[in-house]
Amino acid sequence: MQNEPRAWQNFSPGDLSFSFPQVTCASVPQCVERSAAAFPLWASRSLDERRDILSDCREKLSLAAESLAALISRETGKPLREARLEMVAVVAKFDLTFADGEKYLRDVVVEDGPNPALVRQRPRGPSAVIAPFNFPVHLGHGAALAYLLAGNTVLFKPSPLAANVGLEYARIMQAMLPADVFQLVPGWGETGRALCLNEAVRSVCFTGSVPVGRELSSALAADTSKSLALELGGKNSAIVLADADLDLAATAVADGTCLTSGQRCNATSRVLVHRRVADAFLKRLTTSLARYTPGDPMNENTLLGPLISFAAHERYECLVSTRAGEWIVPGGVLEKINPEMHGYYVLPAVVLAHDPLALDESLLAKAETFAPVLVVEIFDEEDEAIRRHEAWKFGLTASVFTSDAGSFSRIGSHLSVGNLYHNLPTTFSPSTLPFGGWGASGNGRPGGRGFVRFAVQEQAIQWKT
């Protein structure tokens, strides 16, 4: 593995003339040592005490929500309106996690056994959170909050592409928490791997690519007591039946394809549409996609910001040059959006695939797209749509558009996904529900509601009277 840089500097993907302060890699052994030393005292506090301290974190994050949203937009290119919604979700996550704590973390008295007994939830120890760039606060924050409430200490590694967001988030959390309970661990891939494999780290929540997730799973296989939660992305499909509300479906698919410039694990990257309504649907889809014009992410009216990096820009160009069908919306790269703003801007692109075998062998099918690029396939029978959906081994989200609840139930029962929606975008994943992928998309451990269950280990206690 090539050595990672010890220090680096990020530039705004929406305005490459804007640079951020230099960030330096952390020492993983030192961070873990401090986290391990802080763990016993934090774990010894009661659930109520930890909740009260975390409530102070909530108040500080609420006060900083607007400034953090602006920083997210500047450093990642996420449109400001989306960044603000991310911060709304960050603040709301506290009460949801507190409610989960009441449900899952309290001692449970067992009265139907041979001896008096109770079941207690014990924290695991230092816990690593590997956060992504696309939701640089929200996704890592959800896991971190669950770990902290359960009595674990946290080692938070932000995406290097959103390192300054991570620094500011950590500064706010650390100001309210006891020393070393929340450690920031900036770095690249080598730093993340060293953190996850450290023997003192007892839980890992990783959000990222399939290859890295598989490598971590293999590397940690011998440490059977270490908890590993994987969220590895998706190739999410919308299935449009002949009786669907086509205006609703087209809007939902366009939104699912273009929100966060397609850089969401639950983005819509594929549509399976019934032949009877294919032409009418595609006409509406093209019209709906026209709303997504690239613009300055710091402008609150912008719907489509830039991609995150030059590498993502290059990958987009590779995707739209794929010969897997007819590019009915050809997409394109924009060098700049005005004379002063150079960035990684692209247009939405749609390919109509005619040959399933050629499509299945293409990059469009084999890897997470992470760009506003959409594949459309046409089917004649429901069984064909199900078979084509299941041919791609990801299993994060799927949407079925139909006016018939029975059709939704019948088709949905055959779709191998962790999150299933009826007449909703594939991106509609509220924090009030569990969120986890099947197949290549992860190991099913939810990143939404109920994650606190993986932040503890169960202990059965009984005694002789």
Strand-pairing partners, residue 240, are 273, 401
The answer to whether the beta carbons of residues 386 and 416 sit under 8 Å apart is: no
**Residue 258 annotated as catalytic:** no
From the list 86, 265, 377, 382, the catalytic residue is: 265
Among candidate residues 231, 368, 377, 382, the one labeled active-site is: 231
265 catalytic? Reply is: yes
| Positions marked catalytic | 231, 265
